[in-house]
């Protein structure tokens, strides 16, 4: 074995150990460590009694989190929150806590551990583990649903305003947010455009958590429940943010076709997803793509993939508007 091959092996082994960091991040988020550091540094003993945890083990988790700047240990042994770790607080602006709990939930963790089945069997790993498709699993009880939908809203929260600002939305007509979750993006699109109306379309248990009812949007929003494979409400602009990536090509064409059928003349369908770059560089879409493979039946797509979907649904790709987030607005119009 040469020195280089030793270094390569050591590197790959370190990579394989990498999953323990998100596990520690999850543990800290689950017990609410950051909420108890908001007022300044505390010793592991103080933190342990505030969070009802074991002080020795809590210290070990914090020591690992400090290696990536989430917290910092001072020379006296106290831990403080860094500006990075501040985003772990439950009430931080754009708090990441719920998104971390969702992204490390066993509904994703267990399929990740079974990813080899995706390769050997050519299928998603989720149904084999949980006995039902992804969204059914999350709809089965309120607590499980909250993990996903609050997590999804938290994941979307920092990207909604930049997306709403990056695309030239009209100030008239009706925007339908298809599978819009709690409505964070629709709210940002309606803000500052007083002539625009919005419809939030999703499943009933999701709509119960919507946040559209604000002074600024008074009288300009409604919610509609239904199944986007069957029909969608009429509108001038459709938003499909992180929707098509959950589904396979045939299912995606069905969703797009339902939107095209309901689209007003001259209207637009905006697919807001990552456009996977064709290079070897890291990109969140390449990570989410294997998540979607293992836990759902979907995929992240390239520009050519979107063109093919649109053509099959009687649409054409008119332009791609990049945003400051990892997502782009892929605009489609009727042929």
Question: Residue numbers of the site for ligand SAM (CB under 6 A)?
Answer: 135, 152, 156, 179-181, 202-203, 206, 227-229, 241-243, 246
* Nearest to ligand SAM of 228, 306 (CB atom): 228
3-state SS class at 295: helix
Q: How far apart are CA 194 and CA 316, in angstroms?
A: 29
Q: Given 36, 149, 182, 245, which residue is catalytic? A: 245
What would the two tokens of residue 20 be?
Answer: 């323990």
* Nearest to ligand SAM of 35, 273 (CB atom): 273
In the bound state, the residue with its beta carbon closest to ligand SAM is 179
Give Cα 94 distance to the centre of its chain: 13
Q: Please say whether the beta carbons of 25 and 58 come within 8 A.
A: no
**Whether 245 is catalytic:** yes
Q: How far apart are CA 166 and CA 330, in angstroms?
A: 12
Q: Tell me the β-bridge partners of 263.
A: 235
Q: Residue 27 CB, nearest distance to ligand SAM (Å)?
A: 25
Q: Residue 154 CB, nearest distance to ligand SAM (Å)?
A: 9
Q: Residue 249 CB, nearest distance to ligand SAM (Å)?
A: 16
* Nearest to ligand SAM of 74, 227 (CB atom): 227
Total residue count of the chain as it appears in this document: 335
Give Cα 166 distance to the centre of its chain: 19
Q: What is the DSSP letter of 301?
A: B
> What values do phi and psi take at 121, rounded to 5?
-110, -10
Give Cα 332 distance to the centre of its chain: 22
Q: Residue 192 CB, nearest distance to ligand SAM (Å)?
A: 20
* Nearest to ligand SAM of 124, 203 (CB atom): 203
Which class for 120: exposed (0-12), middle (13-18), buried (19 or more C-beta within 10 A)?
A: exposed
Which class for 195: exposed (0-12), middle (13-18), buried (19 or more C-beta within 10 A)?
A: exposed
What would the two tokens of residue 113 be?
Answer: 């551990």
Q: Residue 318 CB, nearest distance to ligand SAM (Å)?
A: 21
Contacts of 205 (CB under 8 A, 6+ apart): 139, 142, 145
* Nearest to ligand SAM of 82, 325 (CB atom): 325
Q: Residue 293 CB, nearest distance to ligand SAM (Å)?
A: 15
Angle between helices 303-312 and 249-262 (to 10 degrees): 60
* Nearest to ligand SAM of 103, 203 (CB atom): 203
Catalytic residues: 245
């Amino acid at each position: 074995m040469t020195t280089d091959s030793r270094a390569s092996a050591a590197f790959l082994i370190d990579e394989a150990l990498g999953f323990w960091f998100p596990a520690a991040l999850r543990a800290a988020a689950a017990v609410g460590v950051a909420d108890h550091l908001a007022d300044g540094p505390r010793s592991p003993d103080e933190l342990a009694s505030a969070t009802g945890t074991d002080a020795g083990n809590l210290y070990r988790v914090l020591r690992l989190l400090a290696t990536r700047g989430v917290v910092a240990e001072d020379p006296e042994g106290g831990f403080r929150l860094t500006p990075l770790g501040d985003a772990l607080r439950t009430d931080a602006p754009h708090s990441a806590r719920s998104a971390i709990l969702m992204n490390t939930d066993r509904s994703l963790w267990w399929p990740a551990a079974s990813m080899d089945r995706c390769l050997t069997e050519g299928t998603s790993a989720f149904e084999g583990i949980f006995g039902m498709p992804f969204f059914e699993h999350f709809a089965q009880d309120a607590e499980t649903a909250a993990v996903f939908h609050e997590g999804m809203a938290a994941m979307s929260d920092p990207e909604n305003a930049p997306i709403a600002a990056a695309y030239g939305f009209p100030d008239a007509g009706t925007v339908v947010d298809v599978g819009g979750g709690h409505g964070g993006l629709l709210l940002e699109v309606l803000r500052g455009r007083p002539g625009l109306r919005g419809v939030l379309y999703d499943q009933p248990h999701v709509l119960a958590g919507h946040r559209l009812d604000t002074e600024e949007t008074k009288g300009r929003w409604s919610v509609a429940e239904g199944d986007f494979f069957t029909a969608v409400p009429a509108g001038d602009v459709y938003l499909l943010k992180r929707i098509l990536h959950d589904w396979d090509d045939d299912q995606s064409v069905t969703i797009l076709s339902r939107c095209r059928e309901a689209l007003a003349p001259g209207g637009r369908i905006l697919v807001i997803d990552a456009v996977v770059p064709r290079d070897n560089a890291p990109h969140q879409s390449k990570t989410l793509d294997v998540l979607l493979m293992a836990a759902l039946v979907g995929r992240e797509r390239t520009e050519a993939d979107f063109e093919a979907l649109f053509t099959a649904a009687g649409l054409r790709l008119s332009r791609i508007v990049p945003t400051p987030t990892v997502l782009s607005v892929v605009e489609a119009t009727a042929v």
